[in-house]
Chain A
Amino acid sequence: MKLQDIPVRTDEQSLFEVRKKIYSRAVHGWFAALRWAAVWATQLVFYGGAWLRWNDRQAVLFDIVHRKFYIFGLVFWPQDVIYLTALLVIAALSLFLFTALAGRLWCGYACPQTVYTEIFLWIERVIEGDRNARMRLDQQSFAKRLPLKAAKHAAWIAVAFWTGFTFVGYVTPIRELWSEVLNLSTGPWETFWIFFYGFATYGNAGWMREQVCKYMCPYARFQSAMFDKDTLIITYDEKRGEPRGKGTNKGDCVDCEICVQVCPTGIDIRRGLQYECIGCAACIDGCNQVMEKLKRPSGLIRYSTTHALEGSRTRVLRPRVFIYTAILLAVAIVAGVSLYLRVPLKLDVIRDRAAIAREVEGGLIENVYRLQVMNTTEQARAFELSVSGLPGLELWGDPTIGVGAATSRMVLAKVRLPADAAKPGSHPIEFHLRALGVNGVEVREHSVFIIQ
């Protein structure tokens, strides 16, 4: 069933209607375990990654203040923004590919919104109890609710603060930031962003939850464009289940509503594929538990494809999959090769604006250039500069330039030419910079030599 085929639901909230709070029931099972594995994996990377060390520095640091991004052995400069673009293209294409193959895997298992909601729901369950206990609690007076609610929000705020702190720790070195936090001496903007991100986490995972997916997420709106009848989706087997209800001559669905109660977005999967379904598979786990108790085969709600439900064959390898895979591989290979071949040295030549050309002793014409030399490796290096392009063209002064690890340095280069060696005008020349003691690290840069 396509999204468009679903009749417009009259219970869809209008812009100003009040949202009904969803009390999702806890669920255990194979997919719940998988979801928790994803929570652990992503959060170990996020919370833990900031503390890893590499080359005596933070392994992953987006040092925007010094305009350098460190990712383990790699250092990226503002000039390398093309790699960021490539990364975004790769991420987008992967999303398309996974969506075409298996629906909303990202939403169900890996999206931060899902992951933090999962963590916050867990805290809520530990403190307030499961669905029914929470519903009862919300019926009670404010004074009776207060202790549990206060405990829950305190725990939420603690997790949210740690998340905000970790986030800023990827921009400002996290160890220094931590000692600043302990001394309450974080800079004004660091403080602001810790609280901003912390507040966003608290609001999104604690309060807004499924509304983020339903009303804020652009992906939820266009993911159906990647769907076809061979896409793995979460489906209710209508043929087997209907007519639902208890008693004889009924299908396997006993209308226990477990699938609705466990749903974090509060939908009924039995209505068919809906854009609100984030593919978390909680309803599969819930339904399978019930089927097991009833001694009926599991999988009344399961991962399947429209084709499979219709009784025809599912084609995994189809043009859409080939196209996404081909583009994805092409971009990844080009980016990887170019990253591997990247020369860790950059040279910018700027002609000195103050003096175009002047005559110096010995009948020589001198042009002055400002060279920006960037050593993008993490070792200090010495480079040798040379210049060519005109007969008798010479570099004046020491051709050796030392540049510290991962820094850039501005140097003046004086280039001299015998006055009679060329006609007045502008002549193309070329600077050549070569690392000393390392093979293959060299760059060439064009400029012009002017004779008046």
Chain B
Amino acid sequence: MKVAMIILWPAFLAAGVAEVLFFTVFDPSEFGAGRMAAYSAGFLIFWLLAAASSTLTCFLQRGAEEINKGRSG
């Protein structure tokens, strides 16, 4: 639960910033799917990418003990 929280939430914030910056420059109607759909899909894609990055951070941050523990048992 807490892991999900600290992965999803910072990713959500980053996606929000990315969304504002991206769509300030690009008009969503250029993507040919309706603006609401472009905004929504854009946000979800940004969120997914940022969450992937956060996940990797969490994954790499595990200590040696945790990793070895997983292997032995």
Contacts and interface: CB of A to CB of B under 8 A. Distances in A.
B53 interface: no
Contacts of A211: 2, 5
Contacts of B28: 64
A417 to B, nearest CB: 34
Nearest to A214: B2
A15 B36 contact: no
A54 to B, nearest CB: 23
A211 B8 CA distance: 14
Interface stretch (A102-110, A187-195, A344-352, A427-435): A187-195
B39 A215 contact: no
A65 B35 contact: yes
A78 B22 CA distance: 12
Interface in A8-44: 13, 15-16, 19
A218 B12 CA distance: 13
Contacts of A15: 2-3
A231 B63 CA distance: 38
B49 interface: no
Contacts of A193: 40
Contacts of B39: 64, 189
B31 interface: no
B68 interface: no
Contact of B5 (A13, A190, A192, A208): A208
Given A189-B37, A189-B40, A190-B36, A78 B24 contact: yes
Nearest to B8: A216
Contacts of A13: 2
Interface string A80-97: 010010000000000000
A295 interface: no
A65 B27 contact: no
A16 B37 contact: no
A78 B36 CA distance: 16
Query: Is the interface on chain B under 10, 10 to 19, 20 to 34, or 35 or more residues?
Result: 10 to 19
B28 to A, nearest CB: 8
Nearest to A216: B9
Contacts of B1: 19
Interface in A324-362: none
Nearest to B26: A78
B24 A215 contact: no
Interface string A395-439: 000000000000000000000000000000000000000000000
B6 interface: yes
Given A78-B24, A81-B24, A215 B36 contact: no
B2 A215 contact: yes
Given A189-B37, A192-B40, A216 B5 contact: yes
A78 B28 CA distance: 12
A293 interface: no
B50 to A, nearest CB: 14
Contacts of B13: 218
Nearest to B37: A189
Interface in A24-82: 64-67, 78, 81
A215 B40 contact: no
Contacts of A189: 36-37, 39-40
Contacts of B20: 84
A15 B40 CA distance: 31
Contacts of B35: 64-67
Given A64-B23, A189-B40, 5 more contacts: A16-B3, A67-B35, A188-B37, A189-B37, A215-B6
21 contacts: A15-B2, A15-B3, A16-B2, A19-B1, A19-B2, A64-B23, A64-B28, A64-B39, A65-B35, A65-B36, A66-B35, A67-B27, A189-B37, A189-B39, A189-B40, A193-B40, A215-B5, A215-B6, A216-B5, A216-B9, A218-B10
